[in-house]
Chain A
Amino acid sequence: MDAARVGVITFPGSLDDRDAARAVRLAGAEPVALWHADHDLQGVDAVVLPGGFSYGDYLRAGAIARFAPLMTELVAAAEAGLPVLGICNGFQVLCETHLLPGALLPNAGLHFVCRDQRLRVENADTAWTSEYREGQELVIPVKNRDGRYTADRETLIELADSGRIVARYLDLNPNGSLDDIAGICNEAGNVVGLMPHPEHAAESLTGPSTDGLGFFTSIVKRLVNA
């Protein structure tokens, strides 16, 4: 059968789009470049919203990307079950579109932070984490300026109680994220937002590990089995 087709949306200001595409390829799927200004998801089987500073993020991270033409199609498709992974800026965009609850504020230290971060997978049942096991520890780069996850108390409790916290930071919380949250998912588990960059932990030559590849192999396996 044909390889799964995973779209990667490029907004003006997207930076890690090529890297996400490379990780998709390494995981065995076919990356499909999607352009923010189109109204066409090209029939992809899943979508990655990559890292970067969409539209410069001068206003608020992800605030403008949310209004990109393609987002209309994406939101509808995600609500209908299309697997979507938002990485870093992509996570911010997903929050701005309300596909995920909460928001991402500037890092507690007010600096951009780039480091090899230890994480623990808290939910291995989402569309993007099934190749991991719950409690598994990973080392994946985190690099962001606005990565401090925030939500109101009820939301945090609900996220924790319903198992929607996908990953938490270990050792050191790099950005002041509440409850050490590194990633969350929606109720259905098809939409995942993640602050660390799994696409940069896909090759041992260029990453601190290959621990991030699992996010991509998870979706590939799911699509192939589907």
Chain B
Amino acid sequence: MSEQRPNASGRTDGPQDTSDEPSLEWLGELKSDADDPELQPVDPSVTQAFEAMLEEEEPAVPPASPPVSGQVPPATGQAPPANGGPVSPELSSEFARALAEEGAIGPSSPTADPTRTTPDLNGSGPFQQPDGSGPVQRSSGPFGMGAQPPLGSGTGPQPAVGTGPQPSVGSGTGPQPAVNSGTAPQPVVGFGTGPQPAVDFGTGPQPPVGSNTGPQPALGSGPHPAATAEGQGTGPQSTIDAEHPLGGPVTGPLPTATPTGPQPTVPPTESQPTATPTGPQPTVTPTGPQPIVTPQGPSTGPLPPLGLRNLPESGPQPAIGGQGSGPIPVVDGPGTGPQPVVGGPGTGPLPGVEGTGPQPALSRGRRIGMGTGPQPSIGHGTDTVAIAAASPERSQPYVELGMNDEEYQRVREILGRRPTSAELAIYSVMWSEHCSYKSSKVHLRQFGEKAPKTDALLVGMGENAGVVDIGQGWAVTFKVESHNHPSYVEPYQGAATGVGGIVRDIMSMGARPIAVMDSLRFGPADAPDTQRVLPGVVAGVGGYGNSLGLPNIGGETVFDECYAQNPLVNALCVGVMKHDEIKRAVAPGPGNRVILFGARTGPDGIGGASVLASATFDDESEQKRPSVQVGDPFMEKLLIECCLELFREDLVVGIQDLGAAGVSCATTELAAAGTGGMHVELDAVPLRDETLRPEEILMSESQERMMAVVEPGKVDRFMEICGRWEIPATVIGSVTDTGRLVMTWRGETIVDIPPGTAADEGPVYQRPYEPPLDLGALQADTPGRLTRPSNGDELRRTVLWLAGSPNLASKTWVTSQYDRYVLGNTVLAMPDNAGVVRIDDESGLGIALSLDGNGRYARLDPYSGAQLALSEAYRNVAATGARPLAVTNCLNFGSPEDPGVMWQFARAVEGLADACQYLGVPVTGGNVSFYNQTGTTPINPTPVIGVLGVHDDVRRRVTMSLTSDGAAIALLGETREEFGGSEWAHVVYGHLGGLPPLVDLPAEVALAGVMVNAIREGLVTAVHDLSDGGLSQTLVEACLRGGLGARITLPGDPFVSLFSESVARAMVAVRPGAEARLAALCEAAGVPVTQIGVAGGDALSVSGRGAEGEPQELFSIPLAELREAHERMLPTYAD
């Protein structure tokens, strides 16, 4: 059965698994590290440890393929073979859920008129797929299947009476299941009720009928004929089902990939499951950075039984209780300090420090803690380099700061002594997952390795954001970044500061920010917590972006159970500059001044980056509240204007924004990328809270700050401009050529490190990965078993139901809280295909941007899922008439310490890199967000992909609105029967299973070419891509947006034609007279084109084949009714 493994690993072929090799040589190839000799990723000892570990593990690791079948036993159960299991119960409960979601409780459940309106027995539109549905499947079904596949009524999910949202036929109400009149698309309809027997077949009363037939091969299956090019792996699900009616499918999906199982690389740590083995992420400190000294540490000292965690103390404090034991590391008050400071848990007396004993701490005013005892102070209570050198054995709270033993040892090796507390603060944040990408690096490098050849890239990955040449001397920089965890803790500020952070990233490239976008994901729309998080996030994104004067030009808002406690808030910013204005985060030129400007530094989000971004949410998230930063958009607006003036006068030689890890990050990165040295007087940092300790200053994530490197002669002018904008600016140091980053605090040296070791040479992990255990079962559970609407009335209700479902409904409630007009250059914004912004008033040069993702697709097959997200964004951009040019991404996943999640990540990155290479659009930058999970349940892997396109002249752009009465409506592309992960299955049945639509990159390229050329030549008056919800949703949106109806004749099986989510398709309204030219264009590009109707009227009227295959009108929906269904949903839940 191993030959079936292709499923999971998908449609890929190739060398997918290079990454299996734990070879460490790769590490040296990472772009930013390339030239750095020091970056031998892992030192020899680590390598040895790793090798030793491998040896140990070898036997334990399950052999690649063999386990396949064994591993996924559950699948068998789930994919009932022919007469298999008790599907019905499951289905009915599923159905009940669907109903519940719909809020329908209608008793009436009409039975289906013997349904079978669908002549297309095979379920698979014959027109599209000649023999699409292999007859094979048939055989597996209990029924002769002569009739239609999803046996009409009797089948599964039927709404047992009473429940069905489906309206009693007669009352056919609107879309939404108003109670009694449910709307579900159930085929049922008709008379009989309840779990009626499949009428036609008269097969007993068993409701399950249809479903019983197992994974209903008929449907989606059949080796998609046209589908995939060879390499792409075998056909989708069906094959398998058909061949192995028993359990076959189960095993199938197991990816060949990662056969080797968990092979932890780097963390040469213990290969055995120990406490914090590999995971650098300290599950521990969920509460925040406080270095709570817990007894669990390796410590020994006489730890006083403090009520850990509540120590309101600060500063290295004497062991309470006067035990005279070593200095308690406790350090710092609640919520604040990440600073590790001195000594570890109950270490012994410090050598080097006089009088060892209770260590000192300045009792610093307000923080008097429980620490009462005598507090002798050593210096300023500051852990200096001298002290560190003299007290090598003092234990330090690195675990609480998120570092593991190996990482800590590595720091000691680098420095040749233990780090000071300030140095530990720097290394801990710089080596956190958030800042170092230590788990993802080995995979992300593919973006560079597979980067397509292009002249468009002016600055590649590795800088704050990549820069792309869009012609006419203009360059564009754009990037998307996550702010997921903070947004769950404090929705408004979390989302607001997410926008603020990405905007500063763009500014630090020397660009003027010109627009933002946001990709948002929440739990179910009707969940109470969603009603807390959603309004807060939307208000935060809007509140900050609106106050900055940046138009919000689009994005997405998606609801799914898996995001219930892990909302995703991904914000994108795009900026523009002239080629010669590009700035870099570098600090060249010894003698140049380092200036910190913007907001003062306060105790904001201390440790936020490393802790908030790395801990999994649990009941204790409450305790993180103080760690979320608070934004001041007004200050940021001033910073933008101020920076632009500074850039205009060419006053900076290097610039960096302060985001995660604040001053630590800015100084190390600037220094590492410059001459290599920097001297900083940390006391000079202007504070909002004078009691901040140096470690806190280093880690503070106070917003709205920037750091610039300025030539001495330009400092005065620099200050003058900051003064004009009333922005505090302070020289805090200067560039040196020592190769060391040195910081002083009140005259003493507290940091002295090679900056590159913190900035670029963090740990790199090759975490073990293997397909999630339930993947096989998931892929085997195809939507083929789901009952489909089968007559006009049911189709009508399904159209309305989907149009009003949370993910497809109008998002006006969200977008109306965003300013899309400010700056006066927004040509298109949500809900159009993509956002379009004019760059040059004269020439009309402009850009298009789309941000897309689909976690359900990625859950079913992450490789394809990432490619599908890219495909959609690419298609969207082209649908406005823009040439797709470059890509950014935000990869949202669960814990990388979960091999299943790591596998999803590896596959998604590989899929994205491969597709970018094929499409010729380089990845210019991006962001990884791990640990999006609740307990051990990760979110659906959610790569969110942004594609940037260029318009030579935005005046030629086309919208998605149907506005030309009488214009022919054509469908470009090929429709296959693809429902795995579809909105239809999700909305109607809450079903997720099977495989996502086949990726077809050549077809995407061809389609994009046709759209761009057709728009350029003025052949079309409207273009709208097809994606979630299929043709149905595309028509709904085009009609409502333009306020014009359409008369459509479906070319094939009505259900498949309306709801399949096949890729590489778009709907166009053809300019009268241009039909022939368009057809020629399509033919030349090999894009199938089918006229499906005409624009006009005030209703969406759809005809197609009736039950007997004869053409007939299937349904008609007045636009007013459609609008009501589409626009009512969100306000209902959100307000």
Contacts and interface: CB of A to CB of B under 8 A. Distances in A.
Given A111-B539, A114-B819, A199 B824 contact: yes
B1126 interface: no
B838 A145 contact: no
Contact of B827 (A12, A15, A200, A206): A206
A112 B838 contact: no
Instruction: Pick from B539, B548, B816, B822 the residue with the most CB of A within 10 Å.
Output: B822
B539 A12 contact: no
Contacts of A206: 821, 824-827, 838
B822 A145 contact: no
Contact of A114 (B543, B547, B818): B818
B824 A200 contact: yes
Interface string A30-63: 0000000000000000000001110111100000
A200 B826 CA distance: 10
A143 B634 contact: no
A102 interface: no
Interface stretch (A16-24, A76-84, A92-100, A119-127): A16-24
A176 interface: no
A140 B606 CA distance: 45
B552 to A, nearest CB: 9
B549 interface: yes
Interface in B22-78: none
A218 B547 CA distance: 30
A16 B539 CA distance: 20
Contact of B637 (A13, A19, A58, A199): A13
B823 A111 contact: no
Interface residues of B, number: 32
Interface in A115-159: 115, 141, 143, 145
Given A113-B817, A205-B838, A56 B823 contact: no
B117 to A, nearest CB: 41
Nearest to A51: B822
Interface string B295-322: 0000000000000000000000000000
Contact of A16 (B543, B822, B838): B822
Instruction: Pick from A13, A16, A141 the residue with the most CB of B within 10 Å.
Output: A13
A52 B821 contact: no
A114 B824 contact: no
A18 B547 contact: no
A197 interface: yes
Contacts of B820: 114
A19 to B, nearest CB: 4
Contacts of A18: 823-824
Majority DSSP secondary structure for residues of A touching B? loop
Contact of A56 (B632, B822, B826, B954): B632
Contacts of B633: 53, 56
Contact of B543 (A55, A112, A113, A197): A112
Nearest to B1134: A111
B546 A112 contact: yes
A18 B1135 CA distance: 34
B1115 interface: no
B502 to A, nearest CB: 18
Interface in A178-226: 197, 199-200, 202-203, 205-207
Instruction: Pick from B634, B637, B821, B955 the residue with the most CB of A within 10 Å.
Output: B821
Given A12-B726, A112-B543, A145-B546, A53 B819 contact: no
A197 B823 contact: no
Contacts of B824: 16, 18-19, 22, 199-200, 202-203, 206
B546 A12 contact: no
Nearest to B837: A206
A55 B827 contact: no
A53 B547 contact: yes
Contacts of B632: 56
Contacts of B546: 53, 112, 143, 145
A205 B821 contact: no
B368 interface: no
Contacts of A53: 546-547, 633-634, 637
Contacts of A200: 821-822, 824
A19 B823 CA distance: 6
Nearest to A21: B824
Interface in B1047-1100: none
B1043 to A, nearest CB: 13
A111 B726 contact: no
A203 B838 CA distance: 12
Instruction: Pick from B547, B818, B826, B954 the residue with the most CB of A within 10 Å.
Output: B547
B725 interface: yes
A205 B725 contact: no
23 contacts: A12-B638, A13-B638, A19-B821, A19-B824, A55-B634, A56-B547, A56-B632, A109-B1135, A111-B817, A112-B539, A112-B542, A114-B819, A114-B820, A143-B819, A143-B821, A145-B546, A200-B824, A202-B824, A203-B824, A205-B838, A206-B825, A206-B826, A207-B821
Leading 7 A-B pairs by shortest Cβ distance: A56-B634, A15-B549, A19-B824, A200-B821, A112-B817, A143-B819, A53-B547
Given A19-B822, A55-B634, A112-B539, 14 more contacts: A12-B726, A13-B637, A19-B821, A53-B634, A57-B634, A114-B818, A114-B820, A115-B816, A141-B821, A143-B546, A197-B821, A205-B827, A205-B954, A206-B838
